[in-house]
Copies of this chain bind each other. A is one copy, B any other.
Amino acid sequence: MNNGRVTIPTDKNFVDGTKKYVRLWGADAVRDCDGTQLPENARSLAGKVYKTYFLARGNNEWAYAHDECLQNAALMSDRVLAVSERLSVDPLAHYSTEQLALNEESVSLWQVYDRTAGQEIGSWRYDEKSKRVEVENAVPMHEYTVNFFAKILWDATQIYNYKTNGWTIAKDRDIDPVYPEAFALMERDLKAWLEENKDVTVVRFTTFFYHFFNIYDDKDRVKYFDWFGYPMSASPAMFRLFKEKYGYDIALEDIVDEGYYNNHFRVPRKAFLDYMELLESFVAKCVRHFTDIVHAYKKEAMMFIGDNWIGAEIYGKHFAEMGLDAVVGSINSGATLRMVSDVAGVNYREVRLLPYFFPDTLREDGQCTKELQDSWVTERRALLRRPVERIGFGGYLRLADKFPAFTRAVAALCDEFRSVLAKIAGQKPYSHVKAAILNAWGKKRTWMTHMVLQDACYQHTTFYLGLLESLSGMAADVEFVSFDDALRGGLAGYDVVINAGDADTAFCGGNAWLDPALCEAVRAYVHAGGGFIGIGEPTAAPAGGSFFRLADVLGVDEERSLSMSRYKYNRDVCRSHFITEESGGGFDCNGGVQNVYALDGALVLGKKTEQRLGVDIGAFHVKLAANVFGKGRAVYMAGYKHGARNARLLLRALLWAAGKEDTLRRAFSDNEGTECNYYPESGLYALVNNTDSRADTTFYDIEGNSRKVSLRPYELKWVQT
């Protein structure tokens, strides 16, 4: 198959060029982009025509006339110090008043908190004239905050484009489907649009209703940015639905969360989980209404993963109810590819590849060609585990046209992509092990743990995003399991359970580990023969004399200045171990958590660091350790960094923890710069060279028979045995 599965951008001023690349790249779909318009007869260019559609924004005439139907945000004011018993707070201080206005009709829902005492207080009133909250009976030297609703005056994504590109068009206002008039308008507008856009075959929803949490400050700078955040979905009307559904009141504090806004690093609490469920079911119901209309027009409905996607959780239990045909996401890694490709409940999944065809990304033919290829081999690892059905590009096609090596490389990439799909043909690849990533969120945050913006990296999260990246392309089945799942027997059937995260986060688990039942469940699983891998501060929650609650399972604990009087003698490094066999005894854990020491019986792996924990009461920082617990095994890593060497070490750690060391050299490529995937149904092996230089390797088939293979730079070679 030399064409299909590829979407390219087009423009009404580049029709002949579009035809050229439809042919050269085998594209079967064209799309509009920010700053381009579809040609008149787009259908003549390709079988599929995508067009972006906004449900919640676009009809500014109506939105500006219906203030009462605008979307809201649940926000917290600055922290203000009381210096006397009277205190005056401007809730919107340091917020962008271009983006936000106080929702003065909602004052009865506002809250004032004494953050020093940790209490809500009642002695306050809102002064409409000054637009300030006046607090009485304040305690001097306590800090106070106001929780309030603000109306959103400007679509958050548009603010970015507008400010960046110096736009002067009208500012889009987002309307809220929770109000029947707004919902009815959305329906009318969509139908009209569908009538107008006969040529369009795929309605690319960008996205549905509620924007991720993205608030600006009074200096036109981003104030909060949380790609997963829900505060911009909340409203007095949604709170009323909450009461109707659950029988209890939700408060602004349940969303505001001391100013942490329930970002997904926070251990989620019941009211917020109920709120998410409410929102997801509400969004699903609304979206279904619109996808039914799209289908009535014989078009497909595609969801863009991003922007106003809040509530449309792609791994939530209401996702399939939305009746979508497809999802499309912008990706920049193996983990983000898997985030799209593992989505269930749609007919096909598409990813937008890098680089975008923009002037700042396509500068020089060699540079952009290299960038394309490097991104591709990164993402190809994940693709070979679980492919998306389609790929695409964005930006200005006329710009790409200036770079001949680049456009040739795109053509080769598209061919390789199609060949992968053809070869795999829906087969499940062979896995050495089946692994569960255990945290507070489980399935809902599949391939999304530790992300702030897709896989944008925060220093704290590099270990864990690196872990996801390595796993995304590894010959291992990876699933995401919640603590609740674990408590209901959900660990059965996994070879290895992974708990990775910083203390006090939802991904480590924080106080979830104070539940003895969770400790029991995981200990019982390992004790009976399961594998466990902890990264960072796994199972951390100080209680009962240890910091890691499963220190006994892991064979390590973290010194938190409270047990320095306990001597630590387990300091000898085991220099010969299955896990470190190919790394020369080393492990680059990217710094890693400090002050971790080994308990008696554990094996300290990796080279010794020079930094000692003390003069007499000494122990060095453990970076990597292995421990036997009952019939099971555990591995601890103080940190992690994605790379060929560590990915191999991680695979070995998974195998060791699972007690499956003997399967390493089955469906395996020896050179660490290469990898092998095996498709049992067809008997095909995909050997990939992930490096930009020639790689000689020893290939082992599933029976363990080996032979030498040589791979060109970046090569994907199919081997049939």
Contact = CB atoms under 8 A, between A and B. Distances in A.
Interface of A: 76, 79, 81, 83, 113-118, 139-143, 145, 213, 217, 221-226, 229, 258-261, 263, 265-266, 452-453, 456-461, 501-505, 514, 516, 519-520, 523-524, 527, 542-546, 549, 552, 559-567, 569, 595, 611-617, 630
9 contacts: A142-B516, A223-B566, A225-B616, A260-B545, A265-B561, A265-B564, A452-B614, A458-B615, A460-B564
Contact of A116 (B113, B140, B141, B519): B519
A467 to B, nearest CB: 15
A504 B542 contact: yes
B562 A504 contact: yes
A50 to B, nearest CB: 28
A607 to B, nearest CB: 18
B259 A516 contact: no
In the assembly, how many copies of this chain are there? Answer: 2
A613 B452 CA distance: 13
A564 B516 contact: no
A143 B552 contact: yes
Contacts of A457: 614-615
B139 A565 contact: no
Contacts of A569: 221
A614 B459 contact: yes
Contacts of A504: 542, 560-562
Point out which of A505, A545, A559, A614 has the most chain B C-beta atoms below 10 A from its C-beta: A545
A458 B613 contact: yes
Contact of A83 (B452, B505, B630): B630
A616 B266 contact: no
A615 B566 contact: no
Contact of A258 (B266, B458, B516, B545): B545
Secondary structure call for the A interface: loop
Contacts of A523: 81, 141
Contacts of A266: 562
Contacts of A113: 544
A229 B566 CA distance: 12
A321 to B, nearest CB: 29
Contacts of A139: 516, 520
A503 B595 CA distance: 14
What are the 9 tightest A-B residue pairs by CB atom distance, in nearest-first order? A115-B544, A258-B545, A226-B565, A458-B614, A141-B523, A259-B545, A141-B520, A502-B561, A117-B516
Given A224-B567, A452-B565, 10 more contacts: A81-B527, A118-B543, A118-B544, A139-B516, A143-B552, A222-B616, A259-B566, A260-B563, A265-B564, A460-B564
Given A221-B569, A520-B142, A545-B79, A562 B265 contact: yes
Contact of A564 (B452, B501, B566, B617): B452
A436 B453 CA distance: 45
Nearest to A504: B560
A373 to B, nearest CB: 22
A415 to B, nearest CB: 33
Nearest to A502: B561
B614 A456 contact: yes
A168 to B, nearest CB: 26
A343 B140 CA distance: 38
A501 B561 CA distance: 9
Contacts of A549: 116
A569 B542 CA distance: 33
B460 A595 contact: yes
Given A453-B616, A459-B595, A615-B457, A564 B263 contact: yes
A562 B260 contact: yes
A617 B458 contact: yes
Nearest to A544: B115
A226 B549 CA distance: 24
A263 B563 CA distance: 8
A194 to B, nearest CB: 37
A460 B611 CA distance: 12
A225 B617 contact: yes
Contacts of A143: 544, 552
Contacts of A217: 567
Point out which of A224, A527, A565 has the most chain B C-beta atoms below 10 A from its C-beta: A565
